[in-house]
Amino acid sequence: MLIDRWAGRVPKTIDELVELPGVGRKTANLVVTLGYGKPGICVDIHVHRICHRFGWVRTKTPDQTERVLRDKLPSAWWIPINETLVRHGQQVCKPISPICSVCPVDRDCPKKGVTRRR
Ligand code: SF4
């Protein structure tokens, strides 16, 4: 499809990228931000989960979270939020049992939906 439709080039917009088989908004946002330096918010499962725990969003899917963040999040954070929260989610704010005792935002985090923590 890249060869037939885009002359072998990777499209530069999210709308065009999501037409490619297997490409969702998470990947499309990653391509436009890291590949082309354009604005975008890559929301994976870590970003989605942690934004819920922060109380920033109440959404069902990462795609919905991305749309809310586009309204709420200052643009300076659109690109860095992914790496920041992915790393935080892998090391501290883990899916099943977050390690709140070592978390730098423990005092300020409302811990929405967290039932078990360390
Ligand atoms: S305080 Fe706990 S729930 Fe909140 S961000 Fe930190 S690890 Fe996650």
Walk me through the domains of the chain, giving residue ranges and CATH numbers: 1-40 (no CATH), 43-118 (1.10.1670.10)
Profile the chain (118 residues) by mean pLDDT over runs of 10 residues: 94 97 96 94 96 97 96 95 96 97 98 97
Distances (CA, A) of 110 to 8, 25, 51, 66: 47, 28, 11, 20
Distance 20 CA to ligand 1 centre (A): 36
Give the pLDDT score at 55: 97
Distance CA 118, CA 114 (A): 11
To the question of pTM greater than 0.85 for the whole model, the response is yes
Q: Which residue in the block uniquely carries the two structure tokens 């923590």?
A: 117
Q: Is 103 in the pocket of ligand 1 (CB under 6 A)?
A: yes
Distance 31 CA to ligand 1 centre (A): 29
**Closest residue to atom 8 of ligand 1, CA basis:** 93
